[in-house]
Structure 1
Amino acid sequence: MTDTKPLPRATLGRQIRDALVRRIVSGELAPGERLVETRIAEDYGTSQAPVREALRELEAIGMVETRPRRGTFVRHFIQQTLRESYVVRAALEEAATRLALPAGTVPFEALHADVTAMREAADRGDVQAVGSASVSFHRHVIDAAGNELLKGAWEALQIEARTAVTLLAVEPALPEVAEEHAELLAVLESGDLAAACLLTRDHQWHYADLPHDAHGRARDSGNPDR
């Protein structure tokens, strides 16, 4: 039986989205299954508005699809769309690093605050808070690049929703996620542009989970070098 207790109103749409992601990833909601807004709203004790918001986000990242005059249905959850998004994201964030680091616009104090927030959230086991702090960290670097076209392309990837899906689907060790960002911050602070760009790219390719890394080197499928 599904645990569908009412959720706090503060981030209702996001919590419904994450709850549906868990049910899709686990197979509880099967590919092809119709998602009825009124039923979901009743399950979580809310109106249809936050449900609609959650379904829009899931559609934007390819987990559900809306068919005219038929409703919203679960799509086959294929990792390919996540993989592709991380490859594109790696290129965008590397470009942002190349612009921001030489310009001296990287907000290191804000990045330290994000890493601290990630560590504290990891200690609590709060997946959502880890994801939010991670998105904030990377958005600060994107903003520091001062390139609106680049920022628009990055935002169009639905970074927040995709990050939530990745953390829920992959279930990485949360303290390791925080330390990955601490390592990236240390390289940025070193001022070594080549090393910062390399780690920025590798950081995203880690989650692309491809058979090769950002340098084209084959990964050991039994113990991938991520």
Structure 2
Amino acid sequence: MTEEPSMLPRLTLSRQIRDSLVSRIVSGQFRPGERLVETRLAATYGTSQAPVREALRELEVMRLVETQPRRGTFVRPFVHETLRESYVVRAALEETAVRLALLAGTVPVEALRSEVEAMRAAAAEGDGEASARASVSFHRRIVEAARNELLRLSWEGLQIEARTSVTMLATNMDLGDIARDHAALLEAIELGDLETACKHARDHQWHYADLPHDAHGRIRDTAAG
């Protein structure tokens, strides 16, 4: 009988396989263009093909892989570049959303406070998924408060939930820092400090673009982290 020391708990099997594959893709262990074979992955994780297939479907939603008819599933090229580009675009959209919502007086402050509290609770529990959900909800509330349908559709088109999950898995983000960063943005919003709030909204996303310079053209201190 085959030993199964690396068998994963069945209740979260497909999610754990997904997270493992994300880490392997982002780290370069699986190269762009490489085929991901369900049978081989099932053998690697000591499971049937069903949870592997489900995990691959989620990766396709995240645009980390693509399925080609009669050929199989392949790692998409330019994964890192796509993530960087999405955060630069998201920074511009969310800065505009904050500006519009503040000028219109439509910011749902109480709801944003609730999301920050949810992020703090998630940090205390070490629950990355809950933190990601609260973060996405926080930003979606601001985007919706801008009351600009084209802006909202453009923002949703970036597949925010999927990209947030990828980023959190790829960067080992500190959950406490996530809560504090959102609390700082909320404080600027509550104070009605338009330019500070807009700057924070822009810089918050630009940080994750992982470019050699920040949104203001300053060279990043790569030695610091």
- Higher mean alpha-carbon deviation, 24-33 vs 92-101, is at 24-33
CA deviation after TM superposition for structure 1 residue 80, in Å: 1.3
SS, match of residue 62 in structure 1: coil
Q: Give the CA deviation at 1:17.
A: 3.2
Identity %: 63
TM-superposed deviation, 1:47: 7.7
Aligned pairs for 1:140-219 within 5 A: 140-219=141-220
Structure-1 separation of matches of 2:124 and 2:78: 30
Query: 1:137 maps to which residue?
Result: 138
Separation in structure 1 between the aligned mates of residue 5 and residue 212 of structure 2, nearest angstrom: 36
Deviations 1:98-157 (A, max 9, x none): 111111111111111111111111112111111111111101101111122111111111
Match of 2:116 in 1: 115
Deviation at 1:54, TM superposition (A): 4.1
> What residue identity is the alignment partner of 2:72?
G
Bigger radius of gyration among the two:
2
Report if aligned partners of 2:38, 2:49 keep a CA contact under 8 Å in 1.
no
- 2:111 partner SS: helix
Deviations 1:15-61 (A, max 9, x none): 5533421343355545444334466678586784x755543442344
Unpaired stretches in structure 1, ≥5 consecutive residues: none
CA drift of 1:71 comes to: 0.6
* Range with bigger deviation, 33-42 or 79-88: 33-42
TM-score, structure 2 as length reference: 0.84
Cα distance in 2 for partners of 1:146, 1:44 equals 49
2:59–2:65 Cα contact (<8 Å) kept: yes
Shift of 1:64: 1.2
Comparing 84-93 and 122-131, the one that deviates more: 122-131
Q: Of 2, 5, 8, which residue of structure 2 is paired with 1:5?
A: 8
In structure 2, the CA distance between the partners of 1:128 and 1:77, relative to structure 1 (3 Å rule), is farther
1:165-209 C-alpha deviation (Å, 9 max, x unpaired)? 111111122111110011011011111111111110000001111
Deviations 1:75-116 (A, max 9, x none): 356421111000000011111111111111111111111111
What is the distance in 1 between the residues matched to 2:221 and 2:49? 48
Q: Within 2, Cα distance between the matches of 1:107 and 1:46?
A: 46
Q: 2:87 aligned with 1:86, yes or no?
A: yes
Consecutive unaligned residues in structure 2, runs of 5 or more: none
User: What number of residue pairs does the alignment pair up?
Assistant: 221
